[in-house]
Each structure stands twice: as structure tokens, then as C-alpha cells.
Amino acid sequence: MRRLIPTAVALLSLASANAVFAQAPAASPGGPVFTLEEAIGQALEKNFAIEIQRFTTDSADAAVDIAVADYRPTLSVTASTGVTQQAAPSSTLDGTTATGPRNDRTTIRMSATQRTITGGTLTVGGNLLRNETNSRNALLNPAFNSDVSVSIRQSLLRGFGIEYNRASIQRARLGVERAGHDFRGAVLDVIRNVETAYYELAFARQQLEVRQFSLSVAQDLLNENEAKRETGVATDLDVLQARVGVANSNREVLLAQQTVLDREDQLKALLNETNYDGSYGTLELAPLDESDVSFAMSYKLALENRPDFASAIAGIEQFRIDERNAKINRRPTLDVGASAGYNSLAGSAGSAVSDVWDGDGYSWQMDVQFSMPWGFKADKARLVQAQANLHRAETQLQQLDQNIAVQVRGAVRAVETNRESLRISSLATQLSSQQYDLEKARFDAGLSTFRQVQEAQEDLDNARVNELRAAVNLRSASADLARLEGSSLEVYDLDLDPAN
């Protein structure tokens, strides 16, 4: 009775495992090959991180247009009309009627204002004024007055200079450059993440194949032991051990199947797949890269290609612009202005407009404006802030350089270590395979126990899985190193230049 209880438990475990296994996917679903390049291409088209970064890049492009628009002319047209009716006078000596003086005025003004790159403002404009009165003394009624004028105002100290006034444009263009670097960094991150997810899914499927093969071996051993028991060579204990081995193999298969499904979901999330019920086709892994790696070469590539490093350099240039402008803003304000124009007076609008250039009416004026905040406290504080921001960015760049060096050293060591680990794992697999064959032969000859055969099989399974894991770790380490070097785009022949 005691021996029937564990036997029943083993059979129950085997039955439940087989029921779940029948509903789970196979290790390799077959179908067309789904390459890593295809996965990366789909991710770059649909990944959320890439899409978000595209919006940031578009916003940076718009910032340049906004900065440039400050130096585009502004056209304006103003029209107004009004009536002034004064109270009735006590006498009519002023020539008005008993209702009091009345003026009807209609004005149309057109102007164009242009901000200059030197820090000045240029305005060209013209007026057409119609004035009608009830005065009998008016020479022209209605009277039309027309004038044209040009005026300019230029800063001589604070806000003066081409470099100062182009700062907003330069800063915006550096923002576009930084957004481009950030977009490149997002692409490299997506490539690295897709590579890792693709490799992990491939490992999970291969691990499942190993577990399924182990299950078939365990089933063959069970069948063999049952046959041997019929002939009296094996005992009930041997059969029970074989059944437990099958149940354990089924459990490993179930866990491996769960891992496959989890890894598929992770890859689908990166590719922004909405169909979680489907499965990718056959995965195809490129041969392992056997080229030598070195810290000096990888570190040089990282400094040349790392988007975050290039973005930090561009950020420093932005802070230098801020510092330069903050120094200029410590100056007092000294503006000079000048304006000149012609005017005419006629009895019709056409005559007033045509005679403005030939008439003898003109006007001009010049002015100077000076202002200075007491002690320049706020401007000095803004300069201190700008210098602090610049020094902080320069220090952060040094820190980033140090971090890159440490990361590259670790990535290079990881590649070298995983290569050696893969070599050792391959040797361990060969050894475990030979040991299993030897132990199985000894068991068939009655020189070993079934437990020893099971242990040899478990050692072989673990060795195969370790070899697969070492191969995936090596590929992942190579992908991490390529991300640090910023060379993944060249590896997959991707061009992020929108002009191409």
C-alpha cells in the first residue's frame, strides 16, 4: 500500500502536466523566418519611445522657426473713425453753427516693423487721415492728410551686437542638434532592447526544445523500465523513479513554455504588437561575432558616437551662449532713435497720397534714452546663475566621460568573459553527453542504478541549458558593447538622416 501512494502521486502529476502541455505552444512554431533585422525595423516604426522622441524632435524644429520669426517683418494695418462734438458755444464768432464745433475723423495707418540682427528696430509706415468739420472757416472740408515716415531705434550697450541677438537662434539650433542626438540615443536603446528580447526568446525556445527532448528521453526510460520489470530485471522502485523523472521533466517543460510566452510578450511590447495571441515564426540567429575587442577602440568609438555625450557637448554650448549674453546684460541701456517723414494736405485722398513726396511738409526727430538699474544686482545674479549652469554642465560632461570609460571597460570584459564561458560550457556539454552515454550503457549492462542514469541526464540537461545561456549572454554582451560604442546603426545599416 505504501508503494501505491507515491505511484499514484506520480501518475497524477504526469496526467496534469500532460493536460497543460497539450494546450501550450511547441518550442519552435515554424512558419516563415522572423529575423532580428525585421524585428528592429518594426520596432523603429511602431515603438512608443521612438514615437515620443519624434514629437520632441518636431518641437525642437519648431523652436528654431519661432526664434527666426522674431527677425521677420511684422505688417499691421489700423483703421479708426471717430466723431468729436463739442458743446454749443455762447456765440458764433468761431464760425461754427449753433450746434457747436464738430470733427469727423477717419484714419488708416499701415506699417511694417523689422527687428534687426544688431539689436535695433526699423519701422516704415504711412497714414491717411480724413477730417471733416462743421466750421465755415475751414479751407478744405473735408481735408485729407497723408504722411510717410521711417524710424529706427538702436541699442548701443545692453542688447547690442549680432552675436547677442543671434543667441536665441543659435540656442534653438543647438536644441535641434540635441534632440537629434536624443533621438539617436532612443533608437540605439530600442535596438539594444529588441536584440536582448529577441535573444531571450530564442534562448527560451531552445531551452524548451532541450526540456522536451529530456521529456522524451525520460519517457523512453520509463517504457524501458516497465518492459524490464515484466522480465524481472527492473523493480517497482525503478519504474516509480522513472515515472517521477517523467513528471519532473513535464514540470520543466511547463516552466520552459511559460518562459517562452513571457519572452514573446516582452518582444511584442517592444514592437508595439496588439495581437498577443499570435506567435512569431522561426527565429534566426546570426553567427557569433569572433572579432577581437579592446578598450581603447571601444572607448574611442563611444566618445565619437555616443548620443548622450554629443548632446552634453551641445548643452555646454547653450550654457556658454547664456553666459555671454548674461555678461552683456550687465551693461546699462543706451538707445538712440531717429525718424523722418513727409506729409501733405489736400482736398481728396488721391491728391494727398500723390503729393506726399512732392509737397513741402516734412518732419524729423532724434532722441537718446539711457537707463541703469542701481547696482545691477539682478543682472549680476543672473550672470552667476549662467556661470554655475555652465560649470555644472562641464562637470557633468567629465562625469559622463568617466562613466563611459567604466561602462566600456565592463562591457569589454563581459564580452571576453562570456566568450570563455561559452567555450567552457561547450566542453561541459560534450563531457556530460559522454558521461550520460556511458552511464546509460552501464545501466543497460546492469552495472549502474537508474538513479545514477537520472543524475547523468539532469547533468546533461543543465549543461545544454548553460551552453545556450552562455551563447545568449555573449550576444547580449556584444549588443551592450555596440550600444555603448553607438555602432548599432552601422551594424544594421540604419540611416537616421531624414534627407536620405
CATH number at residue 415: 1.20.1600.10
Residue 185 shares a structural domain with residue 273? yes
Distance CA 75, CA 11 (A): 90
Residue 81 placed within a domain: no
Long-range contacts of 234-239 (CB under 8 A, 24+ apart): 234/450, 236/3, 236/7, 237/3, 238/450
Residue 91 placed within a domain: no
| pLDDT score recorded for residue 19 | 37
Q: Of 11-25, 89-103, 197-211, which has the strongest mean pLDDT?
A: 197-211
Percentage of residues of the chain with pLDDT beyond 90? 48
Distance CA 34, CA 28 (A): 12
Mean pLDDT, residues 421-446 taken together: 89
Residue 308 shares a structural domain with residue 343? no
Residue 200 shares a structural domain with residue 274? yes
| All three cell numbers of 361 | 511738409
Residue 345 shares a structural domain with residue 293? no
Mean pLDDT, residues 473-485 taken together: 92
The answer on pLDDT for 264 being more than 60 is: yes
Residue 31 placed within a domain: yes
Side chain identity, residue 180 = G
* Domain finish residue from 329, 347, 371: 371
| pLDDT score recorded for residue 2 | 35
Residue 277 placed within a domain: yes
Residue 216 placed within a domain: yes
| pLDDT score recorded for residue 24 | 41
The answer on pLDDT for 36 being more than 80 is: yes
Long-range contacts of 413-421 (CB under 8 A, 24+ apart): 414/477, 414/480, 414/481, 415/293, 415/474, 415/477, 415/478, 415/481, 416/293, 417/477, 418/470, 418/473, 418/474, 418/477, 419/474, 421/470, 421/473, 421/474
Residue 227 shares a structural domain with residue 297? yes
Residue 367 shares a structural domain with residue 396? no
201 neighbors 267 (Cβ within 8 angstroms): yes
| pLDDT score recorded for residue 326 | 94
Q: Binning pLDDT at 50, 70 and 90, where does residue 16 land? A: very low
Residue 131 shares a structural domain with residue 270? no
Q: Binning pLDDT at 50, 70 and 90, where does residue 103 land? A: confident
Bridge pairing between strands 282-284 and 143-155: unpaired
Mean pLDDT, residues 89-103 taken together: 63
Could you tell me the pTM of the whole model? 0.76
Residue 419 shares a structural domain with residue 460? yes
| pLDDT score recorded for residue 333 | 93
Residue 193 shares a structural domain with residue 46? yes
> 457-478 b/e with 16+ CB inside 10 Å = b?
bbbbbebbbbbbbbbbbbbbbb
| pLDDT score recorded for residue 5 | 34
Mean pLDDT, residues 57-66 taken together: 91
The answer on pLDDT for 499 being more than 50 is: no
| pLDDT score recorded for residue 29 | 64
Domain that residue 149 falls in: 120-158+337-371
The mean pLDDT value of the chain amounts to: 85
Of 58-62, 66-70, 99-103, 142-146, the poorest mean pLDDT is in 99-103
Residue 244 placed within a domain: yes
Mean pLDDT, residues 144-166 taken together: 91
Residue 54 placed within a domain: yes
76 neighbors 110 (Cβ within 8 angstroms): yes
Distance CA 252, CA 464 (A): 14
Mean pLDDT, residues 23-40 taken together: 71
> 145-181 b/e with 16+ CB inside 10 Å = b?
bbbbbebbbbbbbbbbbeebbebbbebbbbbbbbbbb
Residue 197 shares a structural domain with residue 342? no
Residue 214 shares a structural domain with residue 188? yes
Distance CA 379, CA 148 (A): 39
Residue 70 placed within a domain: no
- In Å, how far are 218, 292, 299, 416 from 295, measured between CA atoms? 47, 10, 6, 11
* Domains in the chain, number: 2
Residue 275 shares a structural domain with residue 365? no
| pLDDT score recorded for residue 217 | 84
The answer on pLDDT for 114 being more than 70 is: yes
